[in-house]
Structure 1
Amino acid sequence: MSIVSNIHKFFFIIFCLFVSACSTNHQIKSKRLNEWTVSTVAPKYYSAYIDILLITSETKQGGWRGMVTKYTKFSKNPNSWEGRERYSSGYSIQSTELPGLIYIRWYSLANKKTYNKTIKVSEDIRNKMREYYEMRCGFNNGLYPYKDNILLGLAPDGMISVFLNGTCFDNELQFKVQAVEYKVADDFVYPELSEEAQSYVDEHGVPVGIW
């Protein structure tokens, strides 16, 4: 084979590799987040009972009303948000539109109070949700490239911790916001805590400002 032929072959291989790399890069960049969740969690023993969850899209042209289950899931520890129970109470939305506002109202059963708050989801958080990562995890080493879950930590003192996470990503605290107490009807009856939770609350009370 001539030297000229070898040179042509070499440049052809380089060209093919270049085109392949560009194509792969284009495919990655063209992928879009089209499904995401809003989840809730309460500190262990301090049950939160979700009443209303409303989500407005980032363009404010539409929204969603959903339920993340009545009783939210618990963190691993009464004094922290640690734990991987975050997806068990997720409200899944199939849309390339990301949230602009989230309104939540819930009952704190430990101190028999009702809180509500409208939470603004910033463009910075939406950009973090859209960012693509070559991230694999789990028993099947599946590709889970997005931080696609907004987790609301609902404390019994009304403080909301807003986290961002994903299947392969741990909780990343974005900010905290204080909900306001909501006046319920005089004859409203709060659901009871479990026997175990009530025993813990009776012994330790309801702390303020630790979550």
Structure 2
Amino acid sequence: MNSFLRITICALLLSGCTLTNSQSMPYKAWYLGFSAPAYMEVWIESADVVDIQEQVFPRAMSGVASLITPPNNSGDPRGWPKRAPMGGGKYVTGADLPKQIYVRWQSLVEPQTYQMVIKIPEATRELMRKGEKVYCAADGKWITGYRQSIGIRLVPGGIAKVWVGGPCMAPIEVTKVKAVIDPRGPYEGKSDGEYDSLSNESKAYVEKFGVPYDSWK
């Protein structure tokens, strides 16, 4: 499986040399965001995007997945959210709608390193193209809204759920993916197996309650 992932990404990178200005979406850029449950800290080494025109956008996103770490163990990381946040991230500027997203990340509470390919079907892209009349309570206006954001929630055990959403619009779950473990460990084996330290709040929660793997099945 690991060899398959490496071959897949190499092939996609080689095929993404030609850029084009035409886009199939009704907005200039779409947003890629990541979140994690409370205390379940995640470091994203790289999220690489391949769009439907075979353009490749290496490291379209990297860094910390957004999460909440309340003090005194007052947060609850268990289960999937009813209304998923799009998470912290970036706009993928210059890209058409996504075909595949390759994600390599560290689950710091385990600790473990995962990688996966998220395939985005045409049905999901149609959701992202479709405009809907929606009411925005914040400014009291009706707008034509688009689900121009992809939110990916990463949890321990290497599981990810993916939603599409947009301003004033309810997010829609589109897929769930099980990643594989990268035996090389963090940073492709370049850190001698060393992971970054947890925050004090996350460390205190995990030491007292452990990691609720069963809540994300």
Question: Which TM-score band applies after superposition, normalised by the shorter structure?
Answer: 0.7 to 0.9
Change (3 A) 1:122 1:106: same
Counterparts of 2:201 and 2:215 in 1: how far apart (Å)?
21
Of 47, 54, 71, 1:53 maps to: 47
Counterparts of 1:197 and 1:96 in 2: how far apart (Å)?
36
Alignment of 1:1-211 (within 5 A): 32-60=26-54, 62-74=55-67, 77-82=76-81, 86-87=85-86, 89-95=88-94, 97-141=96-140, 143=143, 145-182=145-182, 183-184=184-185, 185=189, 187-211=192-216
What TM-score results when the alignment is normalised by the length of structure 2? 0.75
Give aligned-pair identity as a percent: 27
Counterparts of 2:43 and 2:84 in 1: how far apart (Å)?
16
Cα deviations across residues 47-102 of structure 1 (Å, max 9, x unaligned)? 01010110001122x12123545111016740134388935512202347100000
Report what 2:11 is aligned to.
Answer: none
Could you tell me which runs of 5 or more consecutive residues in structure 1 were left unpaired when the two chains were aligned.
Answer: 1-30
- Read off the aligned partner of 1:59 and give its amino acid letter: Q
Change (3 A) 1:206 1:88: closer
Change (3 A) 1:43 1:95: same
Counterparts of 1:68 and 1:117 in 2: how far apart (Å)?
15
| Contact kept in structure 2, 1:149 and 1:164, CA below 8 Å | yes
Could you tell me which runs of 5 or more consecutive residues in structure 2 were left unpaired when the two chains were aligned.
Answer: 1-24, 69-74
Counterparts of 1:42 and 1:161 in 2: how far apart (Å)?
10
Tell me the CA shift for residue 112 of structure 1: 0.8
- Read off the aligned partner of 2:59 and give its amino acid letter: G
- Read off the aligned partner of 1:43 and give its amino acid letter: P
Counterparts of 2:62 and 2:48 in 1: how far apart (Å)?
14
What TM-score results when the alignment is normalised by the length of structure 1? 0.76
Note the aligned Cα RMSD (angstroms).
2.5
Aligned residue pairs, count: 181
SS in 1 for 2:213: coil
Cα deviations across residues 133-154 of structure 1 (Å, max 9, x unaligned)? 1223153346361011111110
Change (3 A) 1:80 1:207: closer
Higher strand share: 2
Counterparts of 1:79 and 1:88 in 2: how far apart (Å)?
17
Radius of gyration: which is bigger?
Answer: 1
Structure with higher RCO (Cα < 8 A, 6+ apart): 2
Cα deviations across residues 148-168 of structure 1 (Å, max 9, x unaligned)? 111111011100111111121
SS in 2 for 1:37: strand
